[in-house]
Amino acid sequence: MEKIGHATEQPEWVTNGKVTWFDVQNPTREKLKLLEARYSFHELNIDDCLSKIQIAKVDSYENQVFAILHFPTIDREQSISKPTQLAIFAGPEYLITVQREVLKPLSEMFQMCKDNAVQRDSLVGNSPGYLLHSIIETLVEHLLHILAKLEGNLDDIEELVFDEKTAVPKEISMLTWEITALRRIIYPLKRTVFEISKEIQRFSEEDLSPYFDDLNDHFDMAIEVVDESKETIDIFKDTDFMLSSEKSNKILAILTILFTLSIPASVIATLYGMNVNLPGGFITGQPTFLGPYTTFILLTIASLVPAAIMTYWFKRQQWLRY
């Protein structure tokens, strides 16, 4: 194939038969302009490729299909990051992928096609439609791996939810966010891929419907997993809230009972701490029939007897269950 620009600017490509696959990473307007001169892109589609935020969509032209897809990625902290945008141009004999941020499975697939002729023939096939199916299938398989990891995290957090010594609201919130992010990716992705499958067929003599039907089954599986995960995390959220509330109620009940039992002693201490004449005080004279500490003993009894009576009453009312 002839060069389409300077060596430092031209995107990488791989060719199998009549099909050429260009992969553009870290796109710039200059790189896309080189391909536009060859394949006549619409200016708005180039802007979409360079934009950081675009909704998933499919634009159909006479000899070209343009699509924007979003796929999840895993960051260094092993959590699901924001959706990564993939732009696709497809024509009768070419397919161009534009990675706004690098999708590792797609880059590995492209390198595999460059290095291995057998893999190139298997993945690229004889039409851009089959190649597009191979690309989406690879990325959807990666999506299913992410969902498997999510299910593993749900299993791990299930044990922690019922552990009274461990607080997991942060973990639950993070998983809730990840599940929500996946739902926002998967539902539009399924719809967009269905639209692409209808448009890309005109560039292939082979019937591609069985391949895209298989992809649809994968999407149904992914949707089932993410919906079940949402229901599960909602249950965990409610359970954690109820258990936390119960634990707080136990603590408050115990503190309330202890405070109530201390009321008689507090009342007596308040009275004898006032500058007034009271029986057993210094002015009236302290009783000594129980020894030099008679007053202290009498005040202690006066404090403990009401507390004992209240304890007996609380047990009768079944308030002391904690």
* pLDDT, greater one: 84 or 2: 84
- Mean pLDDT for 193-207 is 91
* pLDDT, greater one: 269 or 93: 93
* pLDDT classification of 247: cutoffs 50, 70, 90: confident
pLDDT of 30 reads 87
Distance between CA atoms of 290 and 294, rounded to whole angstroms?
5
* pLDDT classification of 321: cutoffs 50, 70, 90: low
* pLDDT classification of 226: cutoffs 50, 70, 90: very high
Nearest 5°: the CA angle 237, 243, 244 is 85
* pLDDT classification of 199: cutoffs 50, 70, 90: very high
Contact 183, 226 (CB under 8 A): yes
* pLDDT classification of 7: cutoffs 50, 70, 90: very low
Instruction: Write out pLDDT tens, residues 68-110.
Output: 999 988 776 656 667 889 999 999 999 999 998 889 999 999 9
Distance between CA atoms of 171 and 161, rounded to whole angstroms?
10
Contact 72, 84 (CB under 8 A): yes
Instruction: Write out pLDDT tens, residues 122-164.
Output: 888 789 999 999 999 999 999 999 999 888 888 888 888 877 6
- Distance set, CA 83 to CA 68, 73, 156, 180, 278 (Å): 12, 7, 25, 12, 78
Distance between CA atoms of 30 and 128, rounded to whole angstroms?
24
* CATH number listed for the domain at residues 12-244: 3.30.460.20
Distance between CA atoms of 174 and 189, rounded to whole angstroms?
23
For residue 95, the number of C-alpha atoms closer than 13 Å in the C-beta half-sphere is 29
Q: Of all helices (H) and strands (E), which one includes residue 16? A: strand 12-16
* pLDDT, greater one: 246 or 107: 107
Domain ranges of the chain: 12-244, 262-316
pLDDT of 277 reads 59
pLDDT of 1 reads 45
Angle in degrees, 0-180, between the axes of helices 209-261 and 128-161, rounded to the nearest 10: 20
* pLDDT classification of 6: cutoffs 50, 70, 90: very low
What residues have CB less than 8 Å from 165, skipping those under 6 apart? none
Whole-model pTM: value is 0.75
* pLDDT classification of 2: cutoffs 50, 70, 90: very low
Instruction: Write out pLDDT tens, residues 278-315.
Output: 665 555 556 656 666 666 777 788 778 888 888 887 77
pLDDT of 280 reads 58
- Percent of the chain with pLDDT strictly greater than 90: 37
State the average pLDDT for the chain: 83
- Distance set, CA 44 to CA 27, 41, 47, 193, 214 (Å): 15, 8, 5, 21, 32
Contact 168, 157 (CB under 8 A): yes
Distance between CA atoms of 54 and 184, rounded to whole angstroms?
13
DSSP per residue, 267-293: HHHHHHTSSS--TTSTTT----BTBTT
End-to-end CA distance of the chain: 81
Contact 88, 66 (CB under 8 A): yes
Instruction: Write out pLDDT tens, residues 179-192.
Output: 998 999 999 999 99
Distance between CA atoms of 231 and 154, rounded to whole angstroms?
11
**Is residue 42 scored above 70 in pLDDT?**
yes
